[in-house]
Amino acid sequence: MLQKTWVKLFIWFMAIFFFFLAAGVVISALKPGPSENEAMNFMMGMMSAMDSSMMGVAMNIENDNALQAVIALSTSIALPIMLVSIVAGVGIRLWQRRDRNV
């Protein structure tokens, strides 16, 4: 796969993307500020996100009984599922170890 030109180009693209992103994060963290303009843009951006994004939808959960019921159900079964998964994982490991020792 690595000999294909398009794969090579894609890997180069992804590598460059991550280097630029890391550089952007470092610049953002170390630069002075935030300036007044940035703070205003931040506030306005957050306000627009309240209206027209999933953040806004999330704000309306309290009016949605069906969604509330789904969240309550998933919250209540999350812990048992995790416990069952851990027990199953340990069980598989022990089962494999026993077979290896035979």
Is residue 87 close enough to count as binding other proteins by CB under 8 A? no
The answer to whether 8 and 2 are in contact (CB under 8 A) is yes
Is residue 54 close enough to count as binding other proteins by CB under 8 A? yes
Binding residue for other proteins, selected from 69, 77, 81, 89, defined by CB under 8 A: 89
In a 10 Å sphere around its CB, with 0-12 CB exposed, 13-18 middle and 19+ buried, how is residue 67 labelled?
A: middle
Binding residue for other proteins, selected from 73, 77, 90, 96, defined by CB under 8 A: 96
Is residue 15 close enough to count as binding other proteins by CB under 8 A? yes
Q: Which residue has the tokens 């919250």?
A: 75
The size of the interface with other proteins (CB under 8 A), counted in residues, is: 47
